[in-house]
């Protein structure tokens, strides 16, 4: 069996190959060699007033020029239409003022405008959120490229960026921005996607039954991916089986010719029904997977991951220039998608020389004061927190390994048990100092009497912990910071970076 070893390079020249247009029944494209420049937000399609009115069944009360669409006046750029969203505690129609037009807004898509509004106005009755989703559905009908929709309890954003990175070698790629994985974000992604894009990569999230089905029906992906099923959003589900069924809604409307990419190592994923006539592609460590993760190991002092993947008779070895063994399975999933769509496995591996972790997700930074910080503050679940602790354990360190952990939210009645399991994992990993933020972790620590087995600091919130940590970090420490979004753990990252290390004395 031939083996290809790839040494990461940073000045590689590629021939870019653009896929032909596809129907809803997607097959591998006949590829035409062409130089490709990746799309950016400036390439988003311009919507005319008649197109907007047709999509939402609205009325053109005032004509405006063609432009892109925004739902946030804070980020609105000149040449954009503004669609104000309305919620239980807010109504963005209040931001429609003459000053908005002076900022460059060319029109409004909404229920009403202010008295002196002199720009375009497409009026709609009823919910503006429904109008946004109608625009998303309308946009999807005009996109000719291959759309990839992926979901999972952990790893969605990182895998999405890996897929986009791998596909850049054969076509233009447009991917979800930031964490745009709910009904608003998916609609905005479709609305902003260039109509002649080669590949669109959309991240799909859900927190309750029925949400995934709605998102999948809006974006109608040609490739449907389920990365894993884990303990998240358990406030709305009685069991992991129910979580898997809710995520499995992404597969329900798959058509013959579509592709479903599934984690062969996850029994809950593998138990989900796949419609007849739909191609199933498997990834994972299990033998028989279409793309198999042969091995993964931390190298370079835990700063990088060496990965070996196998597809058919081809084996490729490459390096992910970022810490965390969990990245290897994300790369395996991305490889299963990219190679099925025509990317050679060797070229896929080579693309990882350009991989950069998404901000706030296993992001290793060295502060000016010398402290190594693993910024994993974007969100937290039991699975992702366990992986982050394993990442910290693998990093070589002359000082202390410090884990600063914020509560994991939305875990339902068993939330304290999940926090206890994470603390026990910290003990097993021999973390030198564990600092806890939030009542759930504090309760779990009390239940386990964990202070007998490791150094422990507890605080009510991120601000309190930051103030108590003053002058207790050293330049040779490695610090992991992780927690759910609601815990605002990014405040601690800012504190660590600004911390002035004036002494070698530690009190913790």
pLDDT grade, residue 501 (50/70/90)? low
Q: In what order do the strands lie in the sheet with 363-366?
A: 363-366, 372-376, 478-482, 401-406, 433-437, 455-459
Question: What average pLDDT does the segment 274-286 reach?
Answer: 97
Q: Compute CA distances 378 → 362, 482, 486, whole Å.
A: 9, 8, 10
Helices 183-192 + 211-219 axis angle, to 10: 10
Decide: 159 and 333 in contact? Cβ < 8 Å.
yes
* Residue 20 pLDDT exceeds 70: no
* Tens of pLDDT, residues 440-464: 999 999 999 887 788 999 999 999 9
pLDDT at residue 43, as a whole number: 66
Other residues' Cβ atoms within 10 Å of the Cβ of residue 370:
13
Can you tell me the distance from the alpha carbon of 262 to that of 229, in angstroms, rounded to the nearest whole number?
11
Closest CA to 350 of 383, 388, 309: 309
* Residue 26 pLDDT exceeds 90: no
* Tens of pLDDT, residues 190-222: 999 999 999 999 999 999 999 999 999 999 999
226 three-class SS: strand
The beta strand positions in 343-500, using DSSP E, are 363-366, 372-376, 401-406, 433-437, 455-459, 478-482
Angle at CA 384, nearest 5°, toward 486 and 464? 35
- Work out the burial of residue 73: count CB atoms within 10 Å of its CB; fewer than 13 is exposed, 13-18 middle, 19 or more buried: middle
**What is the model's pTM?**
0.88
Question: What average pLDDT does the segment 80-90 reach?
Answer: 95
Name 86's bridge partners: 91
Decide: 320 and 304 in contact? Cβ < 8 Å.
yes
Q: Compute CA distances 137 → 85, 110, 203, 217, 219, whole Å.
A: 17, 18, 16, 8, 7
pLDDT grade, residue 472 (50/70/90)? confident
Structure tokens that stand for 327 in this block: 């990245």
* Tens of pLDDT, residues 354-400: 999 999 999 999 888 889 999 999 999 999 999 999 999 999 999 99
Residue-range domains of the chain with CATH? 3-35+144-354 (3.40.1190.10), 42-133 (3.40.1390.10), 363-498 (3.90.190.20)
Name 4's bridge partners: 316
Strands 304-311 and 314-320, sheet pairing: antiparallel
If you search the block for the tokens 């202070």, which residue do you land on?
451
More confident residue, 296 or 13: 296
pLDDT at residue 506, as a whole number: 52
Closest CA to 377 of 486, 505, 261: 486
Question: What average pLDDT does the segment 232-248 reach?
Answer: 93
Classify the C-alpha dihedral 462-463-468-470 as positive or negative: positive
pLDDT grade, residue 232 (50/70/90)? confident
Decide: 322 and 357 in contact? Cβ < 8 Å.
yes
* Tens of pLDDT, residues 417-445: 999 999 999 999 999 999 999 999 999 99
Can you tell me the distance from the alpha carbon of 91 to that of 84, in angstroms, rounded to the nearest whole number?
7
Structure tokens that stand for 349 in this block: 């591996």
* Tens of pLDDT, residues 55-78: 999 999 999 999 999 999 999 999
């Amino acid at each position: 069996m031939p083996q290809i070893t790839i040494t990461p390079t940073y000045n590689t020249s590629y021939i870019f190959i653009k896929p032909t247009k596809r129907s809803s029944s997607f097959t591998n494209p006949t590829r035409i060699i062409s130089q490709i420049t990746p799309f950016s937000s400036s390439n988003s399609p311009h919507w005319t007033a008649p197109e907007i009115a047709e999509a939402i069944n609205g009325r053109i009360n005032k004509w405006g020029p063609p432009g892109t669409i925004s739902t946030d006046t804070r980020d609105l750029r000149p040449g954009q239409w503004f669609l104000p969203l309305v919620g239980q505690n807010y109504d963005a129609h209040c931001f429609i003022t003459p000053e908005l037009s002076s900022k460059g807004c060319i029109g409004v898509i909404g229920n009403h405008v202010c008295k002196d509004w002199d720009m375009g106005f497409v009026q709609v009755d009823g919910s503006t959120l429904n109008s946004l989703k109608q625009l998303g559905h309308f946009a999807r009908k005009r996109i000719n490229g291959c759309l990839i929709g992926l979901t999972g309890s952990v790893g969605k954003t990182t895998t999405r960026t890996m897929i986009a990175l791998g596909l850049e070698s054969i076509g233009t790629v447009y991917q979800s921005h930031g964490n745009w994985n709910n009904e608003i974000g998916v609609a905005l992604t479709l609305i902003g996607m260039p109509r002649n894009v080669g590949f669109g990569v959309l991240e799909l999230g859900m927190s309750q039954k029925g949400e995934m089905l709605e998102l999948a029906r809006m974006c109608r992906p040609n490739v449907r991916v389920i990365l894993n099923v884990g303990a998240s959003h358990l406030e709305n589900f009685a069991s992991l089986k129910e979580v898997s069924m809710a995520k499995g809604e992404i597969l329900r409307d798959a058509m013959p010719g579509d592709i479903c990419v599934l984690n062969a190592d996850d029994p809950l994923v593998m138990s989900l029904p796949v419609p007849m006539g739909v191609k199933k592609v498997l990834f994972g460590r299990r033998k028989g997977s279409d793309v198999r993760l042969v091995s993964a190991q931390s190298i370079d002092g835990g700063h990088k991951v060496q990965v070996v993947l196998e597809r058919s008779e081809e084996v490729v070895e490459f390096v992910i220039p970022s810490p965390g063994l969990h990245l290897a399975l994300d790369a395996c999933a991305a490889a299963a998608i990219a190679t099925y769509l025509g990317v050679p496995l060797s070229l896929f591996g080579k693309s990882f020389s350009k991989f950069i972790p998404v901000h706030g997700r296993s992001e290793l930074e060295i502060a000016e004061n010398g402290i190594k910080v693993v910024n994993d503050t974007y969100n937290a679940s039991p699975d992702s927190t366990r992986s982050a602790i394993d990442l910290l354990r693998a990093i070589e360190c002359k000082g202390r390994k410090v884990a600063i952990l914020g509560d994991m939210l939305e875990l339902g009645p068993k939330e304290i048990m999940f926090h206890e399991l994470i603390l026990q994992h910290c003990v097993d990993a021999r973390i030198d100092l564990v600092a806890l933020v939030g009542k759930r972790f504090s309760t779990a620590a009390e239940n386990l009497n964990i202070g007998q087995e490791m150094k422990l600091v507890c605080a009510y919130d991120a601000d309190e912990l930051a103030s108590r940590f003053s002058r207790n970090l050293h330049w040779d420490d490695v610090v992991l910071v992780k927690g759910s979004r609601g815990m605002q753990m990014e405040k601690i990252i800012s504190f660590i970076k600004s911390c002035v290390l004036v002494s070698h004395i530690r009190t913790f």
